[in-house]
Structure 1
Amino acid sequence: MSEREKQPTGPHRFEMPAWISCAPFERLLNMQIAEAADGKAVLRMPFLIDFAQGAGLMHGGALVSLADTAVVMAIKSIIAPQSHFATIALDARYLAPVKQGVVTAEARVVKRDGRLLEGEATVYDEEGRAVLSFRSTFKIARDTRIEGVRFEE
């Protein structure tokens, strides 16, 4: 049994340094938050060899994780700290392969319907080419306060 297999499988307790900061999984993927404010966020992630699939391209799951996290940070920028919410649906469209470099996700919260928030993200490669189109829906806790964002209806 490897050392990794010997590690506890949860539940895990940890503290994040700030409300808008990367959780352990996001740090594992080397994500960096460039900005998060007013219902928008920009995150970056390098294409490391550990993120490659069998053909040497960036794994689609890594790209989706970046897009999902970017939407999370956009949401965190408009709700009260320590609010509870979770992804309940997502749709990802792969537009082009990533072979190298740093990818950037640009996300925004686009709609609110009661306790549901919808977000969109586009992931770009270093040349500015869109490589992933992403949309997700999150459910927020009943008592969550949302601040200062106008949603297009």
Structure 2
Amino acid sequence: MEEKNDTGPHHFSMPAWISCAPFEQLLVMEIVRAQSGEAVLKMPFLKQFAQGAGLMHGGALVSLADTAVVMAIKSVLDPETHFGTISMESRYHHPVKKGILTARAVVTERQGRTLKGACDVIDEAGRTVMTFTSVFKVARDAAIRGISFQKTDAEAK
């Protein structure tokens, strides 16, 4: 019998609306808090996340920041609401060589079905190693609870 690679579509059930999906579990992300349009996540720098020079791969950092903004957005949407990233921008400030990273995300703006978010990724020394902004589109007829928008440390400067 020939072995088949299962390339999807994949169906799985998550334990809760605000919880890590399989990709986030692969990156060992932990949701510390997600409520009222804010989220804090943590992720260790494991060897598997290194690029060729031994620094943390930029894609792993973006995944952490994007997921943090997603969790902040989920905290203001009804469970099972469909939404997706339509754009993102990341700016790298310092290389990551070790440790556990903290991502602090906030929902910054809402215009109709469009939500904007921002995230600062901080290393164990307290340095902001990356700033990240993104835009999401919510499916039609989805409820968005009242939220107050905040600026990240980088935006306040």
Indicate the TM-score class for this superposition, using the shorter chain for normalisation. Answer: over 0.9
2:37–2:75: 8 Å Cα contact kept in structure 1?
Answer: yes
Deviation, structure 1 residue 29: 0.2
Find the counterpart in structure 2 of residue 55 from structure 1.
53
Find the counterpart in structure 1 of residue 148 from structure 2.
150
Equivalent pairs, count: 148
Is 1:78 the counterpart of 2:76? The answer is: yes
Letter of the aligned partner of 2:14 in structure 1? M
Q: CA RMSD in A?
A: 1.2
- Aligned equivalents of 2:134, 2:95: Cα separation in 1: 21
Find the counterpart in structure 2 of residue 131 from structure 1.
129
Find the counterpart in structure 2 of residue 15 from structure 1.
13
- Aligned equivalents of 2:116, 2:58: Cα separation in 1: 21
- Corresponding residue SS for 1:50: helix
Deviation, structure 1 residue 146: 1.0
Equivalent residue in structure 2 for 1:120, among 104, 118, 121: 118
Find the counterpart in structure 1 of residue 153 from structure 2.
none
Deviation, structure 1 residue 150: 2.7
Letter of the aligned partner of 2:77 in structure 1? I
Find the counterpart in structure 2 of residue 110 from structure 1.
108
Equivalent residue in structure 2 for 1:88, among 62, 86, 89: 86
Deviation, structure 1 residue 44: 0.3
Find the counterpart in structure 2 of residue 28 from structure 1.
26
- Aligned equivalents of 1:151, 1:31: Cα separation in 2: 25
- Aligned equivalents of 2:141, 2:25: Cα separation in 1: 29
- Corresponding residue SS for 1:69: helix
2:106–2:149: 8 Å Cα contact kept in structure 1?
Answer: no
For residues 38-94 of structure 1, the C-alpha deviation after alignment (integer angstroms, 9 at most, x for no partner) is 000000000000000000000000000000000000000000000000000000000
Letter of the aligned partner of 2:98 in structure 1? Q
Please give the residue correspondences for 1:34-49 in structure 2 after superposition, counting only pairs within 5 Å.
34-49=32-47
Letter of the aligned partner of 2:24 in structure 1? E
TM-score normalised by structure 1 residue count: 0.94
Structure 2: gaps of 5 or more residues: 151-157
- Aligned equivalents of 1:143, 1:151: Cα separation in 2: 22
For residues 89-120 of structure 1, the C-alpha deviation after alignment (integer angstroms, 9 at most, x for no partner) is 00000010000000010000000011110000
Equivalent residue in structure 2 for 1:66, among 64, 67, 70: 64
- Aligned equivalents of 2:144, 2:32: Cα separation in 1: 22
